[in-house]
């Protein structure tokens, strides 16, 4: 067997095949990403869990961020991402992480999320009401995108008119844009969010989520303006890019597996639990965010030296045949518990309850109104986004029926 040391240029189009090759060679492999960045890529389930929780593998971007430049050819590096957006908990280890997570958890309560269910249902119904039998549409554009962005903008108290700008900025920041584009998009986003935070801070506290976050208090400890800007940015990007693609990837998987679609049409009460299987099989996050070794770490039989980037492919771990039987097969009735699509450990997705709620509402309404929807393109013409972070299509053309 030849050893894979360089991920192919078209890796994003078919990562699963590449992961199968890597996984067969070992749980942790030193490889170059498509644009040259050298990383230690984790593709097996057990080692993925360890890598996501070992405190010697750090998420401290402030201290380790320069490693991108150490391990990458110059053109693969984003140098000028606006720092005002980076002071958030996904870029920190304990105790800094613990402090921010505690403050945001005070505002992002399970009760507040569940109270959103009627509104999420209403937003989905409004979107579906605009669609007609026989229409050929991009399901991402007309349904999967507007639902979560509307929800997260309402949660943050951001006017919906800014939706398209946000989409453009966050697309630029999550895909491989030029450095110039990144400077522009992150600068524009930071300026907007600063204004928003200042506006909400100047208002009387009310019972909305963002007001609760701005005024959250843990024994006198509060979030400062910069922390609020970064937190809003994290919630905004994490809260829509992912959910859009969970919905899109799930619909594609169902259209490719008509027997499984039939099960959910016959038994819609299975939809909420089936979300876990869609998260497992084709979750929207491929390679989890930045991590590096603070000291040499033995992982899956190899020693990863100090100051190396460790990347965990969540979608590879979730298809590890040692963990899930027939791991490549969609089975909406299986228990996919324990999947890693929301991460693992202290950075486990804060928004998981909201994402599950949105998925449940979206799929339930879509299948009830358009039970016979079909793919309106040849499957091989579908193009995946050129990102190692996000697993999602550019467009999902469907015919409604």
Site residues (vs ligand HEM, CB under 6 A):
89-90, 101, 152, 234-235, 238-239, 242-243, 246, 283-285, 288-289, 314, 341-343, 347, 349-351, 354-355
Closer by beta carbon to ligand HEM, 166 or else 342: 342
Q: To the nearest whole angstrom, how small is the minimum distance from the Cβ of residue 346 to ligand HEM?
A: 6
Between 15 and 343, whose beta carbon lies closer to ligand HEM?
343
DSSP-derived secondary structure letter, 205 = P
Q: How far apart are CA 195 and CA 94, in angstroms?
A: 29
DSSP character at residue 204 = P
Who's near 237: CB < 8 A, 6+ residues apart?
170, 173, 174
First to last CA, the chain: 47
Select 242 or 260, whichever has its Cβ closest to ligand HEM. 242
Q: How far is the CB of 393 from ligand HEM (least distance, A)?
A: 15
Angle between helices 271-282 and 352-369 (to 10 degrees): 110
Alpha-carbon gap, residue 217 to 107, rounded angstroms: 10
- Partnered with residue 6 across adjacent β-strands are 32
Say if CB 396 and CB 290 are below 8 A apart. Answer: no
Two tokens, residue 326: 């027939």
* Residue with smaller CB distance to ligand HEM, 345 or 371: 345
Structure tokens given for 397: 């053309």
**CB of residue 388 to ligand HEM, shortest distance in Å:** 12
Comparison of 8 and 345: residue with beta carbon closer to ligand HEM: 345
State in angstroms the smallest separation of the CB of 325 from ligand HEM: 22
In this structure, are residues 67 and 59 in contact, taking their beta carbons and an 8 Å threshold? no
φ, ψ at 275 (rounded to 5°): -55, -35
358-369 burial code (b ≥16 CB/10 A, e <16): bbbbbbbbbbee
What are the helix (H) ranges across 178-257? Answer: 179-202, 209-214, 225-256
The answer to whether 77 and 69 have CB atoms below 8 angstroms apart is yes
Q: Least CB distance from residue 222 to ligand HEM, whole Å?
A: 18
Please give the DSSP secondary-structure letter assigned to residue 367. H
Nearer to ligand HEM, 38 or 97 (CB): 97
Would you say 323 or 400 has its CB closer to ligand HEM? 323
Tokens representing residue 348 in the block: 């486990």
By Cβ distance, which residue is nearest to ligand HEM? 351
Q: How far is the CB of 354 from ligand HEM (least distance, A)?
A: 4
Q: Which is nearer to ligand HEM, 90 or 330 (CB)?
A: 90
C-beta separation of 124 from 365 below 8 A: yes
Strand (E) or helix (H) holding 280:
helix 271-282
Spatial distance between the Cα atoms of 394 and 397, rounded to a whole number of angstroms: 10
**Pair of tokens at residue 79:** 């140098």
Question: Strands 38-42, 28-32: parallel, antiparallel or unpaired by DSSP?
Answer: antiparallel
Shortest spacing between CB 278 and ligand HEM, in angstroms: 9
Question: Closer to ligand HEM at the Cβ: 64 or 400?
Answer: 64
Pairing assessment for the beta strands 292-293 and 57-58 based on DSSP bridges: antiparallel
Considering beta carbons, is residue 242 or 313 the nearer one to ligand HEM? 242
CB of 49 to ligand HEM, least distance (A): 12
CB of 41 to ligand HEM, least distance (A): 14
């Amino acid at each position: 067997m030849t050893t894979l040391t360089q991920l192919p240029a078209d890796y994003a189009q078919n990562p699963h095949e590449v992961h199968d090759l890597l996984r067969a060679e070992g749980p942790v492999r030193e490889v170059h990403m498509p644009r040259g960045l050298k990383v230690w890529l984790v593709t097996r389930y057990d080692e993925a869990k360890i890598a996501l929780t070992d405190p010697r593998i750090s998420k401290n971007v402030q201290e380790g961020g320069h490693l991108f430049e150490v391990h990458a050819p110059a053109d693969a590096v984003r140098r000028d991402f606006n720092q005002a957006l980076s002071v958030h908990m996904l870029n920190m280890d304990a105790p800094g992480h613990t402090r921010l997570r505690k403050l945001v958890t005070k505002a992002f309560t399970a009760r507040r999320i569940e109270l959103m269910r009627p509104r999420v249902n209403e937003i989905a119904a409004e979107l579906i009401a605009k669609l007609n039998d026989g229409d050929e549409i991009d399901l991402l554009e007309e349904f999967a995108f507007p639902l979560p962005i509307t929800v997260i903008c309402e949660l943050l108290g951001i006017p919906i008119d800014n939706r398209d700008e946000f989409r453009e900025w966050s697309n630029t920041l999550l895909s491989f844009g030029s450095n110039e584009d990144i400077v522009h998009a992150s600068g524009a986003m930071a300026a907007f969010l600063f204004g928003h935070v200042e506006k909400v801070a100047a208002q009387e506290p009310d019972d909305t989520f963002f007001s609760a976050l701005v005024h959250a208090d843990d024994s006198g400890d509060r979030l400062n303006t910069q922390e609020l800007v970064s937190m809003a940015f994290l919630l905004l990007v994490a809260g829509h890019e992912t959910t859009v693609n969970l919905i899109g990837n799930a619909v594609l998987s169902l259209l490719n597996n008509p027997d499984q679609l039939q099960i959910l049409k016959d038994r819609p009460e299975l939809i909420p639990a089936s979300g876990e299987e869609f998260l497992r099989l084709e979750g929207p996050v491929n390679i989890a965010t930045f991590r590096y070794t603070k000291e040499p770490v033995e992982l899956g039989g190899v020693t990863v030296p100090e100051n190396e980037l460790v990347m965990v492919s969540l979608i590879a771990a979730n298809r590890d045949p040692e963990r899930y039987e027939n791991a490549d097969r969609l089975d909406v009735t299986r228990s996919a518990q324990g999947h890693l699509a929301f991460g693992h450990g202290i950075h486990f997705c804060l928004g998981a309850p909201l994402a599950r709620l949105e998925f449940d509402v979206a799929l339930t309404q879509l299948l009830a109104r358009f039970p016979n929807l079909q793919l309106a393109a040849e499957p091989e013409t579908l193009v995946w986004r050129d990102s190692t972070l996000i697993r999602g299509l550019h467009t999902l053309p469907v015919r409604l029926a």
